Amino acid sequence: MSVPMSMAATVVLYPSPGIGHLISMVELGKLILTRHPSFSITIFTTTTSFNTGSTGPYLRRVSSTTPSITFHNLPLIPLDPASFPSTEAITFELLRLNTPHVRRSLLSLSTTTTIAAFVIDLFCTPALPLGSELNIPSYYFFTSGAGCLDCFLYLPTIHQNINQSFKDLNTDLYFPNLPPIPAADMPSPMLERNSTEYECFIDFFNHMPKSDGIIVNTFEALEPRALKAISDGLCVPNGVTPPVFCIGPLIASGEDRGGGGGDVEECLTWLDTQPSRSVVFLCFGSLGLFTGEQLKEIAIGLERSGQRFLWVVRAPPTQTPVLLALPDPDLGSLLPDGFLDRTKERGMVVQSWAPQVAVLQHDSVGGFVTHCGWNSALEAVCAGVPMVAWPLYAEQRLNRVLLVKEMKLALWMNESESGFVTAEEVEKRVTELMDSEEGKAVRDRVKAASEGTREAMSEGGSSRVALAKLVESWNQS
């Protein structure tokens, strides 16, 4: 479909449900508008009958501050979370059932405007054929890093060469230009070869090379080896690798402090009273949950470490499926007796949510214990804050290998086979991050990477050049 320069055109973005994926897509839309304001942005949002993180307040803020972004809500498809074995399984089924609605929405939109491009999330692969059918250039927006993309593009090759489940392989897997990755560190839904989730993922990875291009939320200087492997065709040895556009880092603005009630202002005000680079921040994403026993171990480890801390605590999982919303935690019953009083001079515990970008950018924060979600990792890199990597779900264990062993921007949190982390390990890693030579070395590398983010996003920087090439490809389609 040709896009006349004189005619207003829209770029359709289709994220999978989940606040993290939505934020990344919105930031992509904002970036396109900043550099190419002649476009408008239409974002298809999926209404779910299960918990994917609260999106309502965020959507309202974006709509009020960026009128060139329009949200189009796809019809609700009611699904019972109890009927599915995992978040991924219900999400995949929802997005598969969404496809006819997406098709109708694209057709309706095309009667009033020109669609310059259709950009989908990895989970939205069932909608990829619509691009060819409707003659719209179709791209993936990959919300993890280039190292993860390297793995995903190469996994169909590994799939053909082994016949066991990753959970049964006590060995490392080898991907082009990456450190060895334990098979057990593959994304958790892929560990069982005979599962629906594994089958869907392999199908997604096989489809990615069929797109017109892959937009990646990273920048060239952060992951040069993985990007070289992809561009050299090493990750799709039996096919064609589409163009890859590294336009990151895309992170949400730290200016918006709203959305979390009084605790938000309170935690930022508390940080104002702390010495520079003295506070370790612990936060584990919108779906990161710990048992009550694990929360107590974290508390004991923090107290023993003697370090200043800001800790976001969410209610532990209950008999209620994790896909349903949880109440705010009862800190008094969850944490050790007297913990809050004993640590009140050097620590603060926040219920459920904190403005992560604003916290990481605060001068008082000197370390970050993270679940290794890619958005969170990029936010830390941009802010120049070193990390302790404690993955919980999705592709986070894979991200930990890359952050610790390839990029060397984080320390490794050791857990038991069941995933439990002791108070001694929490104390050791937090202290190491904030007060050791190894922690300083990580801090220095993160500082250099942070400077690299500014270079990539500056005029003439690699990410700006990649975005210009991406938009030019739309204009020539």
What residue ranges do the domains of the chain occupy? 9-252+458-474, 262-455
The candidate with the shortest Cα–Cα distance to 29, out of 49, 59, 7, 54, is 59
Could you write out the DSSP letters of every residue in 141-187? EE-S-HHHHHHHHHHHHHHHH--S-GGG--SEE--TTS--EEGGGS-
Q: What is the pTM of this model?
A: 0.93
Output the pLDDT for position 477. Answer: 66
Q: Tell me the per-residue pLDDT of 303-362, one tens digit each, with 9 for 90 and over.
A: 999 999 999 999 998 754 444 556 789 999 999 999 999 999 999 999 988 999 999 999
Report the first-to-last Cα separation within the chain, whole angstroms.
Answer: 6
Is residue 209's pLDDT more than 80? yes
Tell me the CATH number for domain 9-252+458-474: 3.40.50.2000
Please confirm whether the linkage preceding 137 is cis (ω < 30° from 0).
Answer: no
Output the average pLDDT for the chain. Answer: 92
Number of other CB atoms surrounding residue 151 within 10 Å: 26
Q: Is the pLDDT of residue 200 over 90?
A: yes
Which residues are bridge partners to 30 per DSSP?
A: none
Interval 147-176: pLDDT, tens: 999 999 999 999 999 999 999 999 999 999
- Can you give the pLDDT at residue 288? 87
Indicate if the pLDDT at residue 254 is higher than 90.
no
Q: How many CB atoms lie within 10 A of CB 15?
A: 25
| 143 and 374 Cβ atoms separated by less than 8 Å | yes
Please tell me the distance from the alpha carbon of residue 125 to that of residue 123, in angstroms, as a whole number: 6
Per-residue pLDDT, 5: 42
Percent of residues, the chain, with pLDDT higher than 70: 94
188's CB contacts (< 8 A; 6+ apart) are 393, 394, 397
For the domain 262-455, what is the CATH code?
3.40.50.2000
Instruction: Provide the token pair at 241.
Output: 């690798």
Return the half-sphere exposure (C-beta side, CA atoms, 13 A cut-off) of residue 352: 15
What mean pLDDT is predicted for residues 75-88? 90
Q: Residues 48-60: pLDDT tens digits?
A: 887 776 788 888 9
Would the pLDDT of 25 be above 50? yes
* pLDDT (0 to 100) of residue 325: 58
